[in-house]
Amino acid sequence: MRADCSFVRAANGLRFAYVEQGDRDGTPVLLLHGYTDSHRSFDFMRAQLPEAWRVIAMTQRGHGRSDKPATGYAMSDLAADVAAFLDTLGIERTILVGHSMGASVAVETAARFPDRVVGLALIGGFASFDKPEIAELAAQVATFGDTVDPEFVLAFQESTIADLIPQSFLDLVVAESLRCPAHAWCALLDGQRASESAARAEQCIAPAMLIRGEHDAFVPHADQMALRDGFGSARLYTIPGAGHATHWERPEQVSSLVRAFVAELGDADILRHGVFG
């Protein structure tokens, strides 16, 4: 698995960090991280994915080592980034795997660019961000000023897990979150709160799969049901003992579900007729 970070500058002028592995002629699978994370969020999960796939983990605007513009943090902006990023890499269509905010970006991308998205695997996806926990987080983020408190970031990232993860990885994700400047913390959260993924799911034609940790402190089971209803039909899986960052706590299980989902898509005409060629 490649651990080094590459960069591309998309047609919209922004530079995006990413990592890529596998067969460049294989099925493209694009991984979209959650709020204040980066491509490193998928380090555990990437190790479990087939080398026959072209797996790419992208760092979205405002995060990690990607560009951090002053504006442009609505989910529609991030979805447009995905399309521009795919264009730069010469990828016509892809399967999207999104965690948390990345799940919302995936849904928005599939709704706005239906010809670009073959399938959606959503981990800890919100149906709506109109929740007391999110309002409380927004109130705390609004007090940041120009700096982000490392202790706050640690507490935030710890709140996304319900089981033990390696301390070294927790340290890593905290460090990655600290690369996200205060203005991006605020704008990204505003962008999420203004979005309604369940409503946008109604405009998606790509098949979807939903994965949620049993002890997710942010996304209740009701959100998964609302998303499923929005899509019209989607398989729903609950991972016992896991929290919101299910792919950190149970990377083998999550990866296994994604592998099975992609295998099913591989039987569809849309893949058999060379859309990835």
pLDDT tens digit string along 107-165?
A: 999 999 999 999 999 999 999 999 999 999 999 999 999 999 999 999 999 999 999 99
Within a 10 A sphere around the Cβ of 149, how many other Cβ atoms?
A: 15
Instruction: Give the 3-state DSSP-derived string for 9-72, with helices as H, strands as E and coil as C.
Output: ECCCCCEEEEEEEECCCCCEEEEECCCCCCHHHHHHHHCCCCCCCEEEEECCCCCCCCCCCCCC
DSSP codes joined into one string, 187-224: HHHHHHHT--HHHHHTT--S-EEEEEETT-SSS-HHHH
In-domain check, residue 82: yes
pLDDT at 275: 42
In-domain check, residue 50: yes
In-domain check, residue 277: no
Average pLDDT of the residues in 166-189: 97
In-domain check, residue 98: yes
Q: What is the number of domains present in the chain?
A: 1
For residues 174 and 151, what is the distance between their CA atoms, to the nearest angstrom?
9
CA geometry: angle 184, 174, 15, nearest 5 deg:
45
Range of the domain at 216: 6-272
pLDDT at 235: 94
In-domain check, residue 1: no
In-domain check, residue 169: yes
In-domain check, residue 58: yes
* 3-class secondary structure, 241: coil
Q: pLDDT class for 266, splitting at 50, 70, 90?
A: confident
pLDDT at 1: 42
Q: pLDDT class for 276, splitting at 50, 70, 90?
A: very low
Query: Could you give the percent of the chain with pLDDT greater than 90?
Result: 93
Q: Is 170 exposed, middle or buried (0-12, 13-18, 19+ CB in 10 A)?
A: middle
In-domain check, residue 92: yes
HSE-CB of 212 using CA atoms within 13 angstroms: 22
Average pLDDT of the residues in 216-239: 96
CATH number at residue 74: 3.40.50.1820
The secondary element (H helix, E strand) that includes residue 149 is: none
